[in-house]
């Protein structure tokens, strides 16, 4: 069933928010390409398949101009991602409407903590909507002409999924398994890492480990596989990850802020996260 969210302050002919479906993958790719994001068609397909009623498109006077996604990890925590509005349609309240639609959707499903990773452009709006700062992280990048290709055959053991729950703060196994099926997974008994295809760069992450020297050797091996351009999101202050990134020729290129809203934060243990899953889903 398609739900139409009615917009009160703009007339319906101007703006409406509708659900994103699998038929919108090309459209979502076109929109995100205009801001240079890294998602692939498979990433967007996975988002819509995982949360089929919780991804939305904003249309202004019939023109698709913005997107947002939600990704729920049970009712404990959910992520809001893919929040973008085309530059020429900004500062008219479109992102606010997309955010409110997502928040209403998640609250209707009894999600108690909503989180997101904010760019400096999005942060003021999220603060107005009641989101609090948690910690910041940096996008590190290694420049390169090409984006690497590698075998995509990942799988995670139940022991590693349990360790991930401690690090992240919630059970995200269904989403992790979906992501793992489309990437390269490297794992030991107490560490795992993923190397994922991207449309502009290979993405290193998530990497979760209880043992920093194991994490370091795993990351070294993955970076050797990934020739070319690489992105890696590192919680600020994870000195092991930061010095590894520098050794492998990556540099910090931008800062983002993890934010939460709800009765209480679901914090997890960020010191076990050597690379984040991604800013769209945590
Ligand atoms: C961040 C982003 C989604 C905001 O989209 P937007 O549609 O411009 O956001 P809104 O219009 O709802 O709100 C933005 C500002 O416009 C103001 N605004 C809202 N309606 C307005 C109107 N009718 N006239 C003028 N300003 C208005 C809001 O108060 C807000 O101002 P503030 O930031 O000074 O408080 C957009 O800039 C974007 O896509 N950026 C690139 C991608 C990105 O960084 N996404 C965020 C990922 S976390």
Q: Which H, E and C letters describe the chain, residue by residue? A: CCCCECCCCCCCCCEEEEECCHHHHHHHHHHHHCCCCCCCHHHHHHHHHHCCCCEEEEEECCEEEEEEEEEEECCCEEEEEEEEECHHHCCCCHHHHHHHHHHHHHHHCCCCEEEEEECCCCHHHHHHCCCEEEEEEEEEEEEEEEECCCCCCCCCCHHHHHHHHHHHCCCCHHHHHHHHCCCEEEECCCEEEEEECCCCCEEEEEEEECCHHHHHHHHHHHHHHCCEEEEEEEECCCHHHHHHHHHCCCEEEEEEEEEEEECCCCCCCHHHEEECCCCCCC
Q: pTM, whole model, 2 decimals? A: 0.93
Pocket probe for ligand 1: among 15, 89, 93, the residue whose CB has the most ligand atoms within 8 Å is 93
The pLDDT of 232-254, averaged and rounded, is 96
Compute, in angstroms, the gap from residue 122 CA to the centroid of ligand 1. Answer: 7
Q: What is the mean pLDDT of the chain?
A: 93
Residues contacting ligand 1 via CB (< 6 Å): 35, 83-85, 90-96, 118-119, 121-122, 124-125, 128
Residue 51 has pLDDT above 60, yes or no: yes
The pLDDT of 257-276, averaged and rounded, is 96
Pocket probe for ligand 1: among 39, 56, 71, 90, the residue whose CB has the most ligand atoms within 8 Å is 90
pLDDT tens for 58-87 read 999 999 999 999 999 999 999 999 999 999
3-state secondary structure at position 182? coil
Q: What confidence score (pLDDT) does residue 10 get?
A: 65
Q: Which atom of ligand 1 is nearest to the CA of 97?
A: 12
Residue 1 has pLDDT above 50, yes or no: no
Compute, in angstroms, the gap from residue 128 CA to the centroid of ligand 1. Answer: 11
The pLDDT of 123-131, averaged and rounded, is 98
Per DSSP, the residues of 68-92 read: EEEEEETTTEEEEEEEEE-GGG-SS
Measured CA to CA, the distance from residue 117 to residue 113 in angstroms comes to 14
Contact 73, 113 (CB under 8 A): no
Q: What is 15-111's CATH topology? A: Aminopeptidase (3.40.630)
Q: Which atom of ligand 1 is nearest to the CA of 256?
A: 48
Q: 15-111 and 137-275 share one CATH topology?
A: yes
Q: What confidence score (pLDDT) does residue 49 get?
A: 98
Residue 6 has pLDDT above 50, yes or no: no
Q: What confidence score (pLDDT) does residue 3 get?
A: 47
Residue ranges of the domains in the chain? 15-111, 137-275
* Confidence tier at 154 by pLDDT (50, 70, 90): confident
Q: What percent of the chain has pLDDT over 70?
A: 95
Assign domain 137-275 one CATH number from 3.40.50.1100, 1.25.10.10, 3.90.209.20, 3.40.630.90. 3.40.630.90
Q: Which atom of ligand 1 is nearest to the CA of 90?
A: 8
């Amino acid at each position: 069933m398609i739900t139409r969210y009615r917009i009160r302050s703009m007339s319906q002919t101007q703006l409406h928010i509708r659900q994103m479906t699998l038929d919108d993958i090309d459209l979502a790719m076109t929109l995100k390409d205009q801001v240079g994001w890294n998602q692939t068609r498979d990433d967007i397909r996975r988002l819509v398949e995982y949360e089929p009623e919780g991804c939305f498109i904003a249309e202004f006077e019939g023109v698709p101009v913005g997107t947002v996604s939600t990704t729920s990890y049970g009712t404990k925590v959910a992520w809001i991602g893919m929040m973008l509005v085309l530059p020429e349609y900004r500062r008219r309240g479109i992102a606010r409407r997309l955010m409110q639609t997502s928040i209403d959707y998640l609250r209707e499903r009894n999600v108690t903590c909503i989180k997101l990773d904010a760019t400096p452009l999005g942060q003021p709006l999220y603060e107005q909507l009641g989101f609090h700062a948690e910690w910041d992280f940096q996008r590190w990048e290694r420049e390169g002409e090409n984006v690497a290709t590698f075998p995509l055959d990942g799988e995670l053991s139940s022991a590693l999924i349990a360790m991930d729950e401690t690090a992240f703060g919630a059970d995200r196994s269904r989403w992790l398994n979906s992501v793992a099926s489309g990437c390269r997974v490297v794992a030991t008994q107490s560490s795992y890492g993923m190397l994922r295809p991207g449309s502009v760069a290979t993405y290193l992450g998530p990497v979760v480990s209880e043992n920093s020297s194991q994490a370091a050797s795993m990351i070294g091996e993955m970076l050797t596989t990934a020739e070319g351009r690489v992105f890696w999101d590192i919680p600020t202050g994870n000195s092991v990850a930061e010095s590894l990134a520098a050794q492998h020729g990556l540099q910090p290129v931008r800062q983002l802020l993890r934010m939460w809203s709800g009765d209480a934060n679901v914090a997890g243990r960020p010191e076990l996260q050597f690379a984040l899953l991604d800013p769209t889903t945590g």
